Amino acid sequence: MATVAASVFFLSVQRGIQTERLVSETRVVGSNFAARLETHVATRLRAGKLLGLDFLRSDELELGSFRAKTKLLHELFGDFQALNWVDAQGVIRIVTPEEGNIQALDLNLNDLPIPSAALARAAETGEMQVTPQITLAQGGLGFVVYVPVAENTQRKGFLNIVFRTAPLMRTALGDDTGLSYAFRVLDGDDVFFSSEKDADFGDIMHESRIAVGNREWRLLTAPTPARLRDASNLIDEAILGFGVLLAALTGLLSRLVIDRQHSLEQSRTRFLDFASASSDWFWERDDTLRLTWFSRGIEDFFGVSREQLIGRSRGAFRDPEAGDDDAWTTHLSDLEARRPFRDFLYAVRVDGQRKWLRVSGAPRFDSNGVFLGYRGTASDTTELVRSRSEVEQANARLAEAVEGLVETFSLWDDEDRLVFGNRAFRDLNKTIPEYTVPGTPFETYLRAGVDEGQMTDLEGREDDFMARSLAQRYDPDAQPFEIERSDGIILRLHEQKLEQGGIVTVGLDVTRERRNEEALRKSQERLALAVQQLSIWDWDLRTDKLYMSPGFATHLGYSAHEFEDIKSASITSIIHPDDVDRYQAKLKAHIEDPRSIFSNEHQFRTKSGAYKWFLAIGQTIVDDTGQAIRSTGVLTDITKRVELEGQLRQAQKMEAIGNLTGGVAHDFNNLLAVILGNLELIKEADNVNSIVPFVNAGIEATNRGADLVKSMLGFARRSRLQPMVVDLNTLLQETKTWFGRALPENVDVEFALATDLWTTKTDPALAQNAVLNLVLNARDAMPSGGKLTVETTNVTLGKDDLDVESESIAPGRYAVLAVTDTGEGIPQDNLDAIFQPFFTTKPPGSGSGLSLSMVQGFMKQSGGMVRVSSDPQVATTFRLFFPAVFAQDSTRVAETDKILRRSAPTTRIFLVEDEDAVRGVLAETLCRAGYTVQTARSGDAAYADWQTDHDFDLLITDIVMPGHLQGTDLARKLRERHPRLPVVFLSGYAKEATVPDNALRSNDVRLMKPVSKVDLFAAVETALAEKARARPPRADDLT
């Protein structure tokens, strides 16, 4: 009975020992797995943070740069599924590698609940966020890490790290760990990973917890069913052994020996299982340091069989090119002294490749202190060493890049002492080099800069500056700020607080930017001021939207609102009516030919009603097809210039009139002598027949005087033209009759007249006078004789055919009359002066120098121009360009046709003239013609007489008279009561006859004094005829 009790006790103790060993083994394996997994995940997350910081320092994220930097991490950590870039809006913009991940490109994470929540949390906290396990867009299960990349509150985006769960866990477990133990990873209550479905995580189970970013994982470790069966079999065998002992007490001792041996074998098996479950290997060496035993897995590392490894000496696989001789010297010294060693890292050469081992060992001695060898552990650290090497290389490259930055970069530890400052930082502080060495407290460094005078305008405020600077530095919500140093450098400083403690300070030299901004601001202010003062336009031809600078409206006296109304109507509404047609024609030509520059002078009406002259110069902008799409330009107020030019012209004309006075006085004295002599002869004549020659001579002298006045006014461009449609060929045929009298016999005359010559509208008498002046000049240029050619032709002038500076006519069709002589010619130096009044190369007494001036004045008044070309000693040609017109009747009206049918003798005419002699002659002439005439000597007197007697058919009035009412005023007053009253206006000066007034109508007749009888009768009958045509029809006209 005692034996049975002892057996039961033994078995229970044995079971307890086995259970305790299993629990211990489970705890060791679980802790080892937790450490490896935490290291694996932490290493990868730290690499992701470093990459995020690197992107933060980049101004722009570029695809090639992103892929190059993430490629390094892919090579370091093969268990990354993807490294992606997510923009600030939550859309995946870059995936790496593209293979296997392309389906995630352009995925909007805001549409997915878990990723969107993690993104929002990362954006809110600025911290890295890890998701729970999710179904990946690439397929399968995994988890995602979002690293925010942001500067202050301005977020650039997120670095997106995608892990597949299974590959990551297998990397942490190793190849053989799962043979005897099962592992389960939970995120909260959700199973994240399970290595074996049938494992019992019950009584014998170890739980560890690790932090993964913002989440906590629970790691459960338990023996596999196979491992539990091994333990159970051991107990069953023990029971069987004790049964045998009970059956044969005599073999108790031998049975106990067998059981102990079996227990030892089982312990060895358990140890081997433990070694298999561990990521490390176990080994033994004898007293000669040769390998005698090792756990499974080491042969796979070396790539040779177990038999080939047994007996190998220490250092058999050592890589002699690893450069670790000093470390080996120390290690061999430890072995010879039989000292334990720990974490000896060395390189081995396996199949031509370098691998790394970390080895720890302890010496073994027997009970007598005899050295038996070493036992220890070894682990494959190849991946760790390579990763560390690559990280070190990456850090070295990063440090090199930071060192070469143009920005100042300084890193300060958690106690705010300098860790590192790059070259730009050191150069900026070259006056205080002793304070830019690692270990210098920031406050000491800042004080040294202040004492050195690096900051501006701090005298007496140094302590206040120090206090404010330190408060801002440690303020968690501090924003980037700028400082201006005493050397003129402006720095924009960004102080980034690090999660692990410490501060990174980046300084950007923005001196040039701020100087440029200041220069730009001043330039914009000057431009705004100039725009306010200048008058510019910008016209969008596609939308017809016109911008004109506010200064233009102000210059004209309009408010902004008033000027907007003007633009809405049309800008031409405030252009002087006389300038509108020319302005629109030039503008149209400019837009049709965008290559040309628009240039025009015209008047704008101010708010007060007055007009100001402006010079408009503009250009067009075209599209790709050459079509004008925009017109821009500037308007310059030239009112003062125009006024000065007018005053100058007036002064020049006054000078010319003064010079003219002598010659004109001579000619008029001659004419008056003729008239006076003939009148005296008439007075002494005996009979009527004898006075006829004297009368004719007096009339001819009077006509010559009128022609002289007309020529003078033509020179002044103030003579009143009497234009009509004229055929220049017909006019020249009529002129042939006096050519012979004007030219000597040694001058041959040739006519070359175009048969299809266009008609023109001009004053025929002045046109003949212009031709006569050219013929006489040609005669004087050929004193020894020569040839005179008169020709006509049709010419169409384009825009490119005109000299815009000296020729002001518009492009179009012209009838040209040319006079060519073969005389001496005109020197080139004199060509620009020949049209100046009184300019002549003739000897004194041979010419007045007015003829060409009169010709030019007449042509400009007629809307044409004169061109001259001369080849000295060969020929000179004057060409007169007359605007072509196309009318039904192109014949001249003969002077005799002016005498119309006389009206009835009952016609009553009211004659108003202030000159008594003129009034008497006109009244007598009209009375002899059968008209009834009443006269008045002023407008005021005529208006008073009209109140008592207003039954008149016609009003003939002088324009300029003494008193209040001028001729135009009188006509307007009388027409207020008699709207159909015809009026004939008289004037002794052309300018008076062209005064614009509401009383003048288009059908009113205007006469220049002196007036011949024929012209007077023609004017009367024309005015009466117009009245008859305008009267309402009478009843008898309709029958």
pLDDT of residue 487: 87
Q: What is d(CA 383, CA 408) in angstroms, rounded to the nearest whole number?
A: 36
Nearest CA to 929 out of 901, 958, 951, 957 is that of 901
pLDDT by residue (tens digit) across 679-712?
Answer: 766 766 667 676 777 677 677 767 766 666 655 5
In the structure encoding, which two tokens stand for residue 515, read together?
A: 């100087």
Please, how many CA atoms are within 13 Å of residue 758, restricted to the half-sphere of its CB?
A: 18
Alpha-carbon Rg of the chain, whole angstroms?
60
pLDDT in tens, 1007-1016: 877 787 888 8
Intervals of CATH 3.30.450.20 along the chain: 280-400, 404-514, 534-637
Q: Mean of the pLDDT values across residues 658-668?
A: 54
Give the residue with greater pLDDT, 518 vs 662.
518
CA-based end-to-end distance of the chain:
171
Give the percent of the chain with pLDDT over 70. 78
pLDDT at 842: 62
Q: Helix, strand or coil for residue 1001?
A: coil
pLDDT band at 606 (very low <50, low <70, confident <90, very high): very high
Compute CA distances 461 → 455, 728, 959, whole Å: 11, 97, 89
Q: 992 and 1004 in contact (C-beta within 8 Å)?
A: no
Assigned token pair, 414: 């958690």
| Mean pLDDT in residue range 833-837 | 72
Phi, psi of 158 (to 5 degrees): -140, 145
CA distance 184 to 205: 11
CATH classification (class only), 721-885? alpha beta
d(CA 590, CA 597): 7
Q: What is the rounded distance in angstroms from the CA atom of residue 614 to the CA atom of residue 574? A: 12
Highest mean pLDDT among 17-31, 566-580, 728-742: 566-580
Mean pLDDT for 348-356 is 88
Q: Is the distance from CB of 418 to CB of 445 less than 8 angstroms? A: yes
Residues of the chain with CATH 3.30.450.350: 29-222
Where does 404-514 sit in CATH, by number? 3.30.450.20
Distances (CA, A) of 113 to 85, 117, 936: 19, 6, 108
Joined together, the tokens standing for residue 693 give 């020659």
- Cα 73 to Cα 160: distance, rounded to the nearest angstrom: 13
Single-letter amino acid, residue 408: T
Contact 361, 343 (CB under 8 A): no
pLDDT digits (tens, 9 = 90+) for 473-489: 988 888 898 888 888 89
3-state SS, residue 752: strand
HSE-CB of 329 using CA atoms within 13 angstroms: 4
Count other Cβ atoms within 10 Å, centred on residue 954. 24
pLDDT in the model for residue 227: 73
Fold of the 280-400 domain = Beta-Lactamase (3.30.450)
Helices of type H across 929-1010:
939-948, 967-975, 990-993
In whole angstroms, what is the distance from residue 970 CA to residue 942 CA?
8
- The CA-based angle 348-351-356, given to 5 degrees, is 25
Query: If pLDDT is split at 50, 70 and 90, which confidence band does 499 have?
Result: confident
Q: Is 858 helix (H, G, I), strand (E, B) or coil?
A: helix
- Contact assessment for residue 999 and residue 969, using Cβ atoms and an 8 Å cutoff: yes
3-state secondary structure of 229: helix
Say what the pLDDT of residue 764 is. Answer: 86
Q: What is the pLDDT of residue 717?
A: 47
Within its chain, how far is the Cα of 312 from the centroid? 78
What's the confidence (pLDDT) of residue 488? 86
> Tokens representing 831?
């060509």
Instruction: Tell me the sheet residues that pair with 603.
Output: 613
| 895: amino acid identity, one letter | E
Q: What is the pLDDT of residue 1011?
A: 80
d(CA 967, CA 960): 6
CA atoms of 226 and 29, how far apart (whole Å): 16
Whether residue 359 has pLDDT greater than 60 = yes
CATH 3.30.565.10 segments of the chain: 721-885
**Do 179 and 276 touch, CB atoms closer than 8 A?**
yes
Q: What is the pLDDT of residue 683?
A: 65
Res. 509: pLDDT tops 60: yes
Q: Does domain 29-222 have CATH number 3.30.450.350?
A: yes
How does DSSP classify residue 976? T
Portion of the chain with pLDDT greater than 90, in percent: 20
Average pLDDT over residues 740-755: 82
- Read off the pLDDT of each residue in 376-391 and give the average, rounded to a whole number: 85
DSSP 74-104: HHH-TTEEEEEEEETTSBEEEEES-TTTGGG
371 with 361: CB under 8 angstroms? no
Residue range 145-167, pLDDT digits in tens:
998 887 766 667 888 899 888 88
CA 287 to CA 294: how far, in whole Å?
16
Q: Is the pLDDT of residue 937 over 80?
A: yes
Task: Please give the residue that has the higher pLDDT: either 810 or 154.
Answer: 810
In angstroms, the CA 693 to CA 698 distance is 9
Report the chain's mean pLDDT, rounded to a whole number.
80
Query: What angle do helix axes 764-781 and 728-742 make, rounded to 10 degrees?
Result: 40
The CATH class given to the 899-1037 domain equals alpha beta
How far apart are the C-alpha atoms of 1019 and 899, rounded to whole Å? 9
Q: Identify the pLDDT of residue 236.
A: 52
pLDDT, tens digit, 9 for 90 and up, residues 976-1007 = 888 889 999 988 654 444 454 445 676 778 88
125-144 average pLDDT score: 85
What's the pLDDT tens digit per position in 880-925? 999 999 754 344 333 434 444 455 567 899 999 998 888 888 888 8
CATH of 534-637, one of 3.40.50.800, 3.40.1530.20, 3.30.450.20, 3.40.190.290: 3.30.450.20
pTM across the whole model: 0.32
Per the structure block, which two tokens stand in for 494? Answer: 């960004």
Which neighbouring-strand residues pair with 508?
492
